[in-house]
Amino acid sequence: MTATHAAWADKGTYFSQTRSIRCGSLVLDLSKPVVMGILNVTADSFYDGGKYLTPSQVTDRAGEMFDAGATILDIGALSTRPGTHGGNAEEETERLIPAIELIRKHFPEALISADTYRASVAEMAVGASAAIINDISGGTMDDEMHGFMLTSEAAYVLMHIQGTPATMQQKPVYANVVAEVKAFFEKQLQPFVDAGKQNIILDPGFGFGKDVPHNYQLLAGFADFTEFGFPLLAGVSRKSMINKVLQIKPSQALNGTTVLNTIALMNGANILRVHDVKEAVEAVKLFGALQEYNL
């Protein structure tokens, strides 16, 4: 850790002191883990692409996830599956902003996250009422992103990626994946530490520039990231780290997802980002019972 960050960590972040985080005008209680439901309004996402494109499909799916216990709804309008080059900002905005506005209209109290790595899109999303920006690049794919987030009251999910979605799975290499992700967080957090912005969520980026061994090394070492004093997000839902080990399709990976979500919870995850909200909420409840009744 840098001297500045170490001093801050010793003093205690807002999250470490309150077990909560500010998201715009809202305060997200993280005294217990919560579930972030994934809503992709894209035609080409790896698991649910093309399922939620019409207004009724979007609102029906959002309602299902909130009814199942989702605390946060993460809306994505650009596929970042391995090998994709992504559309342009105009296309992303044309899908994302109406979806945010539609969700806000039907679910006025919803805590909405916008999944984007573009600062211009993030700014419009926050203007449309998104309270969290979920950036898969941690600020490495748009030099303007950190500058915008430093001026915004929205919370920021800072995720690790090696490369870009187009290149990230072309033989990723690490000497020590946990140590290198920690070093990445150290570097990317510094502007926020210097400015005193504390509503940051860290995501080690399972599947983003990592092969199967790297992903399991990250999961095994997940607890190491708690030393930063920020909430931790785990996004393993139906990813290849499950499918390749079990030799199954993403559509068959619900049980494997639940197993890995449970391991993530036991290693310190505060937010589970998932396609299947009901099962993740059940995992959180059972994990809570384990904590409550453990002697």
The pLDDT value given to residue 86: 65
Domain chopping of the chain, boundaries: 3-293
pLDDT of 21 above 80 = yes
175-232 pLDDT, tens digit per residue, is 999 999 999 999 999 999 999 999 999 999 999 999 999 999 999 999 999 999 999 9
Catalytic residue among 81, 273, 278, 285: 273
One CATH from 3.90.1310.10, 3.40.50.300, 3.20.20.20, 1.20.1740.10 for 3-293 = 3.20.20.20
The pLDDT value given to residue 9: 56
pTM value is 0.93
97-118 pLDDT, tens digit per residue, is 999 999 999 999 999 999 999 9
Convert 67-101 to b/e letters by CB count within 10 Å (16 or more is b). Answer: ebbbbbbbbbbbbbbbebebbebeebbebbbebbe
Provide mean pLDDT across the span 71-90.
81
At 11, is the pLDDT very low, low, confident or very high (cuts 50, 70, 90)?
low
The closest alpha carbon to 242, from 274, 284, 287, 199, belongs to 274
What does R_g of the chain's alpha carbons equal in angstroms? Answer: 18
Active site residue 182: no
Active site residue 239: yes
pLDDT of 45 above 90 = no
CA atoms of 216 and 241, how far apart (whole Å): 8
Catalytic residue among 32, 95, 239, 249: 239
pLDDT of 46 above 50 = no
141-183 pLDDT, tens digit per residue, is 999 999 999 999 999 999 999 877 766 677 889 999 999 999 9
